[in-house]
Homo-oligomer: A and B are copies of this chain.
Amino acid sequence: MEDKLKQLKTILAEISDLEYAVFLLAWDQQTYMPPAGAEERGQQIGTLNKLAHRRFTSDEVGKLLDELAPAVAQLPPDSDEARLIKVTRRKYEQYTKVPSEMIVELAELTSIAFSVWQQARPENNFAKFQPYLEKIVDNRRRYAELFAPYDHIYDPLLDRYEPGMKTAQVQAIFNQLRPQQVELIQAISAKPQVDDSFLHQAYNGQKQWDFGVEVITKFGYPWNRGRQDKAAHPFTTEMGLNDVRITTRILPEYIGSALFSTMHECGHALYDLGIDPALARTPLSNLASLALHESQSRMWENLVGRSLPFWEHFYPRLQEYFPAQLGNIDLWTFYKGINKVEPSLIRVEADEATYNLHIMLRLELEIALMEGSLQVKDLPEAWNSRMQEYLGVTPPNDSDGVLQDVHWSDGYIGYFSTYALGNLISLQLWERINADLPDLSEQIRHGEFSSLLGWLRENIHHHGAKYEAQEMVKRITGSEINPAAYMRYIKTKYGEIYGL
């Protein structure tokens, strides 16, 4: 058994090294690669992904997993070894179900679809994108069918991004959440609106960068194990457990972008930086679930970074950086400004009160597409009517409507709900953390984050991908994923800000 496990780990380490190399190739592509390198870079990423996939789905891995299967019963069920075999087997079964022709087909399809989408969005031309999206939907339906029987055809797609989660569960959660969130937004709309114009002025880029660095240094981002660079679309990536990098985007006329994206990505990075080194170079050091990961980025961005205690500490410092812009803006005005609620067209610009509604809309449309109850050609109309229903706004064009996200052109169907689940989980964890660390607010008010990070490391980060999201949330909070904590939070927060 020992010997078989060692053989398996040797193969998994090779695959892990290939994956890290892909992450570096992709990081470099977004940061420093000279433009003419793009075509060759695409080939390199394609080749390394193919080699990693080929090795992982090899008969050798299958045989080792079969041989190790009886041993799992002997191991403590939460041991690294038992979990490693379980998670690897799950992934192996998922991967080997998919014929390589389908993977190649999707890769080729999305490569074209992405460039068509890049043209179609500025041209406001959904019709141009439609035939490619139809093919992607068809490919994804055929993918899902490989996993029949299923409770719901959307399950296998969701499972790719959120292991173990079922469509029915997500629907149940969102059905609870939606009416309360719509009601809250309507209540806010009836109140006088918040002014955030002071956030939209000229802010020196280097100073924005420096302030962000100051903040995440206090959060505990270890600069000897990571770095920050600029990228058009901020992201976190890692080339190992000791090399977890973030990127940010600085807008010269709006301070909100770099500031909150830096904190958000730092939240992701701190998760990966906290994974137990014993899990290195195995699938257990990958992310457990996108929702759990997003719970960490959202926690640092929103529950810490948009909180009043945080700014009681940092606002005087920010005013020192930007006396001309913020010298005459008091703390409460600033706090309200960065928490302004405004139903808007674009998901990535949405505030905490409206964000989840953008997600629910997408989830519902994706499910309908997979069920076949909605045709791709009818998407724009379905999009617009739901926007009106949930957010009270109707996109004036498809560029700011159905064409806004890159995900579908990349073949990412099944992904979106993890964003909203992450929001909900962040609050379930937050209530638990505040019970365990009763003076957390006071610590944050003093710019002190080590207890918080310590708690997250011990209870979440350390475990890597050993537990799925539901299991992790239940272990920590005693409950399954649900929206109660989130609703308590936004009702209280926006109640104060808007005087509801």
Q: Of all chain B residues, which has the CB nearest A46?
A: B17
Given contacts A34-B227, A242-B37, contact A48 B21 (CB under 8 A): yes
- A246 to chain B: closest CB distance in Å? 11
On chain A, the number of residues with a Cβ less than 8 Å from chain B's Cβ atoms is 39
Contact B51 A14 (CB under 8 A): yes
Determine the distance from Cα of A69 to Cα of B40 in the docked complex, in whole angstroms. Answer: 30
**In the assembly, what is the distance between CA of A20 and CA of B25, in Å?**
10
Collect the chain B residues with CB atoms within 8 Å of residue A32's CB: 32, 227, 229
Beyond A18-B51, A21-B48, 18 additional contacts (C-beta under 8 Å) are A13-B47, A14-B47, A17-B47, A17-B48, A21-B24, A28-B239, A34-B226, A34-B242, A34-B243, A35-B224, A36-B243, A40-B239, A40-B240, A40-B242, A40-B243, A41-B243, A44-B239, A44-B240
Interface residues in A1-51 by Cβ distance below 8 A to B read 13-14, 17-18, 20-21, 24-25, 28, 32-37, 39-41, 43-44, 46-48, 51
Inter-chain contact A21/B34, CB cutoff 8 Å: no
Chosen A-B contacts, 21 in total, with CB atoms closer than 8 Å, are: A14-B51, A17-B47, A18-B48, A20-B40, A21-B21, A21-B24, A24-B25, A28-B239, A32-B227, A33-B239, A34-B223, A34-B225, A34-B226, A34-B245, A36-B224, A37-B225, A39-B242, A40-B240, A40-B241, A40-B242, A40-B243
- In the complex, what distance in Å separates the CA atom of A240 from the CA atom of B51? 19
Is B240 touching A41 in the complex (CB atoms < 8 A)? yes
Cα distance A14–B227 when bound, in Å?
30
Chain B residues closer than 8 Å to A39, beta-carbon distance: 242
Assuming the contacts A34-B223, A34-B243, A36-B225, asked whether A43 and B25 have C-beta atoms less than 8 A apart, the reply is no
Q: Which residues of B are found within 8 Å of A25, using beta-carbon distances?
A: 21, 24
Residue of B nearest to A239 (CB): B37
A281 part of interface (Cβ distance < 8 Å): yes
Specify which of B21, B33, B243 is in contact with A243 (CB 8 Å cutoff): B33
Cα–Cα, bound, A25→B22 (Å):
10
> Which of A37, A51, A223, A240 is most buried by chain B, counting CB atoms within 10 A of its CB?
A37
Determine the residue in chain B with the shortest Cβ distance to A39.
B242
A40: chain B residues within 8 A (beta carbon): 20, 239-243, 280
Question: Bound complex: CA of A48 vs CA of B16, how far in Å?
Answer: 11
Cα–Cα, bound, A241→B241 (Å): 31
Residue in B17, B35, B41 whose CB lies within 8 Å of A239: B41
Q: Mark A270-301, 1 if CB is under 8 A from B, else 0.
A: 00000000001100000000000000000000
What residues of B have a CB within 8 angstroms of the CB of A224 in the complex?
34-36
Residues of chain B within 8 A of A51, CB atoms compared: 14, 18, 51
* A241 CB contacts on chain B under 8 angstroms: 40
The distance from the CB of A267 to the nearest CB of chain B, in whole angstroms, is 18
What distance in Å separates the Cβ of A43 from its nearest Cβ neighbour in chain B?
6
Task: Give A243 Cβ to nearest chain B Cβ, in Å.
Answer: 3
Query: How far apart are the CA atoms of A13 and B46 in the complex, in Å?
Result: 11
Residues of B within 8 A of A222 (CB): 36
A240: B residues at CB distance < 8 A:
37, 40-41, 44
**What is the CA–CA distance of A242 and B241 in the complex, to the nearest angstrom?**
31
User: Across the two chains, which residue of chain B brings its CB closest to A243?
Assistant: B37
What is the CA–CA distance of A224 and B35 in the complex, to the nearest angstrom? 6
- The smallest C-beta distance from A48 to any residue of chain B, in angstroms, reads 6
Chain B, residue nearest A242 (CB):
B36
Q: In the complex, which residues 47-70 of chain A have their Cβ closer than 8 Å to any Cβ of chain B?
A: 47-48, 51
Tell me, in angstroms, the Cα distance from A197 to B45 when the chains sit together.
50
A242 to B225 CA separation, bound complex (whole angstroms) = 30
- Complex contact B36–A21 (CB within 8 A): no
Question: In the docked arrangement, what's the CA distance between A226 and B40, Å?
Answer: 13
- Residues of the B chain whose Cβ atoms lie less than 8 Å from the Cβ of A34: 223-227, 242-243, 245
Decide: A24 and B17 in contact? CB cutoff 8 A.
Answer: no
Which chain B residues lie closer than 8 Å to A280 at the CB level? 40
How far is the CB of A460 from the nearest CB of chain B, in Å? 21
Nearest B residue to A44, CB-CB? B17
Query: B residues within 8 A CB of A242?
Result: 34, 36-37, 39-40
Smallest Cβ distance from A7 to chain B, in angstroms?
Answer: 16
Chain B positions within 8 Å of A14 at CB level:
47, 51
A365 to chain B, nearest CB (A): 37
Interface flags, A179-216, vs B, CB<8A=1, else 0: 00000000000000000000000000000000000000
Bound state CA distance, A240 and B35, in angstroms? 12
A40 and B225 CA atoms in complex are apart in Å by 11
**Complex formed: what's the CA distance from A227 to B31 in Å?**
12
A18 to B52, CA, bound (A): 12
